[in-house]
């Protein structure tokens, strides 16, 4: 069962990839000007739906194998988030029939799933705090809410790709390009991790942690930085060029450094090939977009996602916290970041009430909103220690 | 002064922008509106904040009713909240160091600054509370400022609208058709099929649906207010109990916070971990990675709950009546009355009893055993035949203080030490000896007798939290109302379609408070089988 489950996830991944190409084709295809009848677009949405079903199969089989909902660690949560993103896209696609949305959403889902797979993927038993029905209720709704909200990010990027003037370098071109760079860096992280994993790279350091205790730290990427008073125990491995203070986790910093370096190289290569900004290269793909519709997709996904997010990430979360942690609210970092996300989208909705915040400004806001969601998913999980168990 | 009369004869409240009845523009609309479209957000009704700005009350009112101010408040709160997560809050730091020390040692200069600025207690700080309170005030004023005029405007809206009103709607079309009646009939049929409510007045039609969704924001704001009030209630005495209760196995104690009404007996504490051989195959890999037996599976306290019967005098043993047996686990608190008791902590193997033999040092002969209850040692243990042991001094958590004198850190027997006085028939005054774990000190080196350590008994402790929160239902009501309001306002849209027919011409205008795309698609259906022109969107976004 567990094997079947991984296979299904793999198939879903491939299908999303295929779907991306179909959606790409549907935009380049000049004949099917009417998107509703465009053959490529129909193939694209079919691939997305099949991929979604396959991933649903992964989810169900893994649930059966584990005996609990597979949303209990970072790998499971992030893949689920990817699946919800595709699900939200499919729904929005049937309302607005916009191929470009598929072309931009599926790669984000692909990146999410690939990113997730870099973390331990085995099925693990539940610690006592997670043994509750509220695990599935809270986590799935929260993820669904975030995924729907994330569609507004994709719409925002589409909007900006079209409207930002690429003929000269401005703050806008910089930040839009920065979004592209972050996506490339995520890809770089996946590549680096996969390559060294295939090589079975491992080095072990002895080091002194912040409590003055001696401890061991394992690296799976060559150490560019060494832990505090670190001493390499494995032979013939990189010993690190700089030693970090004890409060920083050398392994995490090392991973960030590797991803950034490789990301820069990868980005440089792409720029050399394209001979222009990535966002400039993408611009022709969106030139037929109706901006009004893209703006409305962005707004509607917030309007639809906001209640779902409130329910999952705040209300259900509070109910569960009252049961598991004795209080419904405790200012744990993850809780606070859920609140921040919520306040942010509340501000977004209110700004939409006034003139002048539609269109481009909204699009930038949607990008910031997604950055907050990702910050909560990645940074708060990995860096700020809290009660939420999947660190 | 208090009313404005429109050309159509309708009397509007002072400050009205668009006549409630016919929609004619009464006042120059706000600046920035030289465009030709009406600002329909509150149907051009008279809002207090847009009308008066003289007295202090006006100014305060206007300040808080501005959405711009509301958004600023939200954004500032958001940023402040984020700052609070840079370093852990005081609540989450280890309790054995002072906060001042902790932030300095862990995070250096920045940590020190964080501490000095009070960010370590950010969420309870007066200015954070003020921010939340201002959002609350803003919510109330802002909602009142709009909901009443909006209600009036929608209630009083006329069916026949002036041409100028229709022309300045975002969706508008003018069509010349041969058979007006037939077309109008068809439109009406289509509108009914789309569940519009239709009102008619000499050739004018107003079709409307989902007006209730306009109240969504106000409903959700009410929910929020109730929630905030609920959160404040907790500061009233009696609403809220939060106590810690540590119980050893076998111990019975009054449950704190229950005014002596309830008692809890702890039978056994169970800690289980995931063991490789006992778990399903799929878990093997995960257990291997983190280490066999290192992941907790269950924390459980088996307890019995008692209720006190009648009154008892202080010091008197209370009469207890058993209420129920229960296993408290994480996620499964023990509930009774309005209380809940949670599993949150534990301590394994605390020293509980120590056993010593009183022996003759030379021959090793024993004269009896002394079992000392470390939590409640007796003064004197009589061993018969003239042998006895007195405890002259007891240090449950022994250490040497700065001056090198023996002292105790706490009342918890983490490292017990005793000064024994050993009495025997040949030593009637007794010999003194200081005994701690792994060491014995004799003041006058030549004792005949000795307390020989022979064994310990340990017990597990469970750490429970006792909670009562009478505010929960208020929060629940607030949360539910908030959700209802959200869904009401965001999943439906208020749509209106006006139709004006005269002289062979049909004018059609449409308005929705959001989701124009949806309205345009719906208009395709509504105008099906008619000759009426599809309305043009007069406000496509500018590139
Ligand atoms: C965190 C607190 C708040 C939340 C979660 C919240 C939530 C909402 C939501 C979901 C809407 C509906 C938006 C839409 O339909 O597009 C709304 C509308 C609105 N809110 Fe808030 N709100 C909050 C605070 C405030 C504050 C402080 C103000 C005061 C300035 C305010 C004023 C308004 C107004 C004027 C509307 C529009 C009403 C209408 O369209 O008839 N809100 N609010």
Sort out which chain A residues have CB atoms less than 8 A from B487's CB and list them: 307
Positive/negative CA dihedral, A209, A213, A214, A217? negative
How many domains would you assign to chain B? 3
The closest of B233, B263, B249 to B466, measured between CA atoms, is B263
At residue A34 the predicted structure's pLDDT band, cuts being 50, 70 and 90, is low
Select the residue of A296, A307, A336 nearest B486 (Cβ to Cβ): A307
Pull the structure tokens for residue B414.
């983490």
> Using CA atoms, how far apart are residues A81 and B195, in angstroms rounded to an integer?
37
Listing from the earlier edge strand, what are the strands of the sheet with B417-424? B380-384, B387-395, B417-424, B427-436, B439-441
Write the CA distances from B186 to B190, B191, B336, B506, integer angstroms. 6, 9, 65, 13
Which residue does chain A place closest to B123, by CA atoms?
A331
Q: Which atom of ligand 1 is nearest to the CA of B135?
A: 27
More confident residue, A237 or B336: B336
Atom 43 (ligand 1) nearest CA: B217
Q: B48, B70, B137, B487: which to mutate for ligand 1, most atoms within 8 A of CB? A: B70
Sort out which chain B residues have CB atoms less than 8 A from A337's CB and list them: 82, 85
Q: How far does the centroid of ligand 1 lie from the alpha carbon of residue B542, in Å?
A: 26
Q: 99-118 in B: which are within 8 Å (CB) of A? A: 106-107
Q: How far does the centroid of ligand 1 lie from the alpha carbon of residue B67, in Å?
A: 8
Rounded (10°) angle between helices A133-163 and A74-96: 50
pLDDT at A36 over 60: no
Q: B221, B483, B488: which to mutate for ligand 1, most atoms within 8 A of CB? A: B221
Range in A382-386, B15-19, B103-107 with the lowest mean pLDDT: A382-386
More confident residue, A34 or B211: B211
Q: Does the residue B79 lie in any domain?
A: yes
Pull the structure tokens for residue A306.
């906001």
Q: 343-362 in A: which are within 8 Å (CB) of B? A: 343-344, 346-347, 350-351, 353-355, 358-359
Using a CB–CB cutoff of 8 Å, tell me whether A268 touches chain B: no
How high is the pLDDT of residue A46?
Answer: 95
How high is the pLDDT of residue B288?
Answer: 83
More confident residue, A355 or A15: A15
Using a CB–CB cutoff of 8 Å, tell me whether B286 touches chain A: yes
**Bridge partners of B431?**
B422
Q: How far does the centroid of ligand 1 lie from the alpha carbon of residue A330, in Å?
A: 25
| Residue A327 to chain B, least CA–CA distance (Å) | 8
Tell whether B452 and B419 lie within a shared domain: yes
Are A144 and A273 in contact by the 8 Å Cβ rule? The answer is: no
Using a CB–CB cutoff of 8 Å, tell me whether B326 touches chain A: no
Select the residue of B84, B282, B295 nearest A127 (Cβ to Cβ): B295
* Three-state SS sequence of chain A: CHHHHHHHHHHHHHHHHHHHHHHHHHHHCCCCCCCCCCHHHHHHHHHHHHHHHHHHHHHHHHHHHHCCCCCCCHHHHHHHHHHHHHHHHHHHHHHHCCHHHHHHHHHHHHHHHHHHCCCCCCCCCCCHHHCCHHHHHHHHHHHHHHHHHHHHHHHHHHHHHHHCCCCCCCHHHHHHHHHHHHHHHHHHHHHHHHHHHHCCCCEEEEEECCCCCEEEEEECCCEEEECCCCEECCCCCCEEEEECCCCCCHHHHHHHHHHHHHHHHHHHHHHHHHCCCHHHHHHHHHCCCCHHHHHHHHHHHHHHHHHHHHHHHHHHHHHHHHHHCCCCCCCCHHHHHHHHHHHHHHHHHHHCCCCCCCCHHHHHHHHHHHHHHHHHHHHHHHCCCCCCCCC
At residue B404 the predicted structure's pLDDT band, cuts being 50, 70 and 90, is confident
pLDDT in tens, B355-375: 998 888 888 888 888 999 988
Q: Does the residue B1 lie in any domain?
A: no
Longest dimension (CA), chain A: 69
Q: Are the beta carbons of B465 and A326 separated by less than 8 Å?
A: yes
Tell whether B338 and B357 lie within a shared domain: no
How high is the pLDDT of residue A31?
Answer: 53
Using a CB–CB cutoff of 8 Å, tell me whether B465 touches chain A: yes
Q: How far does the centroid of ligand 1 lie from the alpha carbon of residue B73, in Å?
A: 12
Select the residue of A67, A131, A354 nearest B331 (Cβ to Cβ): A131
Helix and strand tally (H, E) in chain B?
Answer: 11, 24
Using a CB–CB cutoff of 8 Å, tell me whether A289 touches chain B: no
What ipTM was estimated for this complex?
Answer: 0.90
**Bridge partners of B439?**
B436
Q: 492-531 in B: which are within 8 Å (CB) of A? A: 514-517
Tell whether B354 and B274 lie within a shared domain: no
Q: Does the residue B177 lie in any domain?
A: no
Report, as an integer, the average pLDDT of A152-178. 93
Tell whether B247 and B329 lie within a shared domain: yes
Q: Are the beta carbons of B85 and A354 separated by less than 8 Å?
A: no
How high is the pLDDT of residue B428?
Answer: 85
* A132: CB partners within 8 A, 6+ apart: A320, A323, A324, B331
Tell whether B302 and B360 lie within a shared domain: no
Q: Are the beta carbons of B514 and A303 separated by less than 8 Å?
A: yes
Report, as an integer, the average pLDDT of B502-529. 89
Please identify, among B468, B488, B516, the residue that sits at the C-terminal boundary of a domain: B468
Q: 386-425 in B: which are within 8 Å (CB) of A? A: none
- Residues with Cβ within 6 A of ligand 1? A 343, 346, 349-350, 352-353; B 67, 69-70, 73-74, 135, 138-139, 142, 146, 217, 220-221, 224, 486, 489-490
Report, as an integer, the average pLDDT of A134-143. 94
pLDDT in tens, B44-102: 777 877 777 778 888 888 888 888 899 999 999 999 999 888 888 888 887 778 888 88
The pLDDT > 90 percentage for chain A reads 56
How high is the pLDDT of residue B448?
Answer: 86
Atom 24 (ligand 1) nearest CA: B139
Q: How far does the centroid of ligand 1 lie from the alpha carbon of residue B217, in Å?
A: 6
Please identify, among B457, B477, B496, the residue that sits at the C-terminal boundary of a domain: B457
Residue ranges making up the domain that contains B251:
240-348+463-468
Are A286 and A161 in contact by the 8 Å Cβ rule? The answer is: yes
Q: Which long-range contacts link A269-278 to residues 24+ away (Cβ below 8 Å)?
A: A270/A184, A276/A166, A277/A166, A277/A173, A277/A177, A277/A180, A278/A177, A278/A180, A278/A181, A278/A184
Q: What is the DSSP letter of B132?
A: H
Q: Which atom of ligand 1 is nearest to the CA of B490?
A: 15
How high is the pLDDT of residue B488?
Answer: 96
> Using CA atoms, how far apart are residues A3 and B489, in angstroms rounded to an integer?
45
Q: Does the residue B87 lie in any domain?
A: yes
Q: Are the beta carbons of A306 and B490 separated by less than 8 Å?
A: yes
C-alpha torsion B141→B146→B152→B156, nearest 10: 180
> Using CA atoms, how far apart are residues A321 and B162, in angstroms rounded to an integer?
57
Q: Please report where in the chains the tokens 């295939």 appear, as a residue.
A: A198
Tell whether B150 and B51 lie within a shared domain: yes
Please provide the average confidence, as pLDDT, over all residues in chain B.
Answer: 87
Three-state secondary structure call for residue B165: helix
Sort out which chain B residues have CB atoms less than 8 A from A65's CB and list them: 282
Select the residue of A123, A247, A333 nearest B283 (Cβ to Cβ): A123
Give me the helices (H) in B39-125, please: 48-51, 56-65, 67-83, 99-116
| Residue A156 to chain B, least CA–CA distance (Å) | 14
Q: 74-103 in A: which are within 8 Å (CB) of B? A: 96
How high is the pLDDT of residue B30?
Answer: 46
pLDDT at A363 over 50: yes
Tell whether B384 and B399 lie within a shared domain: yes
pLDDT at B219 over 80: yes
Q: Are the beta carbons of B479 and A318 separated by less than 8 Å?
A: yes
Using a CB–CB cutoff of 8 Å, tell me whether A328 touches chain B: yes
How high is the pLDDT of residue B35?
Answer: 52
Pull the structure tokens for residue A358.
């539609």
Q: Please report where in the chains the tokens 């960010």 appear, as a residue.
A: B119
More confident residue, A199 or B36: A199
How high is the pLDDT of residue B53?
Answer: 75
B315, with CB counted inside 10 A (0-12, 13-18, 19+), is exposed
Q: How far does the centroid of ligand 1 lie from the alpha carbon of residue A345, in Å?
A: 11
Which helix or strand (DSSP H or E) is residue B166 part of?
Answer: helix B163-167
Please identify, among B468, B496, B513, the residue that sits at the C-terminal boundary of a domain: B468
pLDDT at B256 over 80: yes
Please provide the average confidence, as pLDDT, over all residues in chain A.
Answer: 88
Q: How far does the centroid of ligand 1 lie from the alpha carbon of residue B387, in Å?
A: 83
At residue A58 the predicted structure's pLDDT band, cuts being 50, 70 and 90, is very high
Sort out which chain B residues have CB atoms less than 8 A from A353's CB and list them: 41, 67
Q: Are the beta carbons of A129 and B289 separated by less than 8 Å?
A: no
* B129: CB partners within 8 A, 6+ apart: none
* pTM of the complete model: 0.90
The pLDDT > 90 percentage for chain B reads 32
> Using CA atoms, how far apart are residues B11 and B13, in angstroms rounded to an integer?
7
> Using CA atoms, how far apart are residues B189 and B193, in angstroms rounded to an integer?
6
pLDDT at B541 over 50: no
Pull the structure tokens for residue B387.
């042998």
pLDDT in tens, A84-98: 999 999 999 998 888
More confident residue, B292 or B262: B262
Q: How far does the centroid of ligand 1 lie from the alpha carbon of residue B143, in Å?
A: 8
Q: Does the residue B475 lie in any domain?
A: no
Sort out which chain A residues have CB atoms less than 8 A from B296's CB and list them: 127-128
All structural domains of chain A with their residue ranges: 1-75+85-111, 126-166+289-391, 167-275
């Amino acid at each position: 069962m567990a094997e079947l489950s991984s296979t299904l996830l793999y198939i879903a991944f491939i299908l999303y990839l295929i779907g991306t190409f179909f959606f790409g084709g549907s935009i380049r295809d000049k004949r099917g000007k009417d998107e509703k009848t465009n053959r490529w677009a129909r193939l694209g949405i079919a691939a997305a739906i099949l991929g979604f079903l396959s991933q649903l199969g992964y989810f169900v089989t893994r649930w059966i194998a584990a005996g609990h909902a597979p949303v209990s660690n970072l790998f499971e949560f992030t893949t689920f988030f990817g699946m919800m993103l595709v699900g939200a896209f499919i729904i929005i696609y049937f309302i607005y029939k916009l191929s470009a949305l598929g072309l931009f959403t599926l790669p984000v889902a692909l990146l999410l799933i690939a990113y997730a797979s870099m973390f331990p993927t085995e099925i693990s038993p539940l610690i006592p705090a997670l043994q509750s029905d509220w695990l599935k209720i809270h986590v799935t709704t929260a993820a669904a809410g975030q995924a729907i909200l994330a569609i507004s990010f994709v719409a925002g990027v589409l909007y900006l790709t079209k409207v930002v003037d690429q003929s000269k370098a401005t703050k806008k071109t910089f930040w839009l390009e920065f979004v592209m760079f972050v996506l490339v860096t995520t890809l770089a992280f996946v590549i680096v991790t996969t390559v060294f994993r295939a090589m079975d790279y491992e080095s072990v350091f002895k080091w002194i942690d912040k409590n003055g205790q001696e401890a061991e730290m394992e690296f799976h990427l060559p150490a560019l930085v060494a832990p505090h008073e670190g001493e390499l125990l494995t032979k013939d491995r990189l010993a690190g060029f700089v030693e970090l203070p004890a409060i920083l986790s050398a392994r995490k910093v090392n991973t960030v450094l590797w991803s950034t370096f490789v990301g820069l190289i990868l980005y440089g290569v792409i720029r050399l090939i394209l001979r222009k900004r990535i966002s400039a290269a993408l611009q022709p793909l969106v030139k037929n977009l109706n901006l009004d519709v893209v703006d409305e997709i962005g707004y509607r996904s917030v309007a639809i996602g906001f209640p779902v997010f409130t329910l999952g990430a705040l209300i259900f979360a509070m109910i569960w916290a009252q049961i598991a942690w004795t209080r419904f609210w405790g200012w744990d970092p993850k809780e606070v970041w859920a609140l921040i996300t919520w306040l942010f989208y509340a501000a977004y909705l209110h700004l939409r009430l006034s003139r002048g915040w539609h269109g481009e400004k909204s699009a930038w806001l949607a990008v910031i909103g997604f950055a907050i969601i990702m910050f909560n998913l990645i940074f708060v999980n990995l860096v700020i220690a809290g009660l939420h168990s999947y660190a | 002064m208090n009313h404005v009369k429109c050309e159509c004869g309708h009397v509007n409240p002072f400050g009205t922008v668009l006549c409630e009845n016919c929609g004619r523009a009464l006042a120059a609309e706000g600046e920035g509106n030289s465009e030709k479209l009406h600002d329909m957000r509150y149907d051009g009704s008279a809002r207090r904040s847009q009308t008066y700005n003289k007295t202090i009350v006006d100014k305060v009112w206007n300040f808080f009713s501005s959405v711009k101010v509301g958004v600023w408040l939200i954004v500032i709160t958001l940023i402040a909240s984020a700052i609070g997560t840079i370093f852990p809050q005081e609540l989450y730091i280890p309790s054995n160091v002072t906060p001042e020390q902790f932030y300095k040692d862990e995070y250096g200069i920045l940590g020190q600054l964080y501490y000095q600025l009070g960010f370590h207690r950010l969420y309870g700080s007066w200015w954070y509370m003020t921010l939340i309170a201002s959002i609350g005030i803003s919510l109330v004023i802002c909602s009142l400022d709009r909901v009443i005029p909006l209600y009036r405007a929608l209630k009083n809206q006329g069916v026949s609208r002036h041409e100028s009103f229709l022309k300045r709607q975002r969706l508008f079309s003018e069509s010349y058709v041969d058979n007006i009646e037939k077309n109008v009939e068809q439109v009406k049929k289509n509108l009914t099929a789309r569940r519009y409510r239709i009102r008619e007045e000499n050739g004018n039609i107003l079709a409307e649906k989902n007006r209730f969704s306009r109240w969504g924001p106000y409903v959700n704001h009410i929910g929020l207010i109730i929630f905030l009030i609920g959160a404040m209630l907790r500061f009233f005495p009696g609403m809220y109990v939060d106590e810690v209760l540590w119980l050893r196995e076998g111990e019975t104690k009054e449950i704190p916070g229950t005014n002596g009404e309830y008692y809890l007996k702890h039978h056994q504490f169970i800690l289980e971990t995931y063991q490789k051989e006992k778990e399903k195959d799929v878990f093997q890999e995960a257990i291997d990675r983190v280490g066999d037996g290192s992941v907790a599976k269950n924390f459980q306290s088996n307890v019995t709950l008692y209720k006190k019967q009648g009154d008892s005098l202080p010091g008197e043993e209370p009469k207890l009546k058993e209420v129920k047996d229960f296993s408290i686990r994480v996620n499964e608190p023990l509930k009774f009355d309005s209380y809940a008791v949670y599993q949150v902590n534990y301590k394994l193997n605390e020293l509980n009893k120590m056993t010593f033999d009183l022996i003759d040092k030379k021959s090793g002969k024993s004269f009896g055993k002394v079992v000392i209850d470390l939590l409640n040692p007796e003064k004197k243990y009589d061993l018969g035949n003239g042998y006895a042991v007195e405890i002259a001094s007891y240090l449950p958590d022994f250490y040497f203080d700065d001056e090198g004198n023996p002292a105790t850190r706490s009342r918890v027997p983490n490292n017990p030490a005793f000064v024994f006085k050993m009495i025997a028939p040949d030593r009637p005054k007794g010999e003194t000896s200081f005994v701690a774990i792994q060491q014995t000190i004799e003041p006058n080196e030549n004792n005949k007798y000795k307390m020989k350590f022979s064994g310990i008994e340990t017990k597990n402790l469970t750490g429970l939290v006792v909670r009562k929160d009478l505010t929960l239902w208020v929060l629940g009501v607030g949360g539910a109302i908030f959700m209802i309001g959200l869904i009401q306002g965001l999943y439906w849209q208020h749509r209106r379609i006006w139709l004006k027919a005269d002289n062979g011409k049909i004018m059609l205008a449409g308005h929705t408070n959001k989701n124009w795309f949806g309205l345009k698609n719906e208009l395709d259906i509504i105008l099906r089988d008619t000759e009426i022109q599809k309305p043009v969107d007069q406000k496509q976004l500018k590139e």
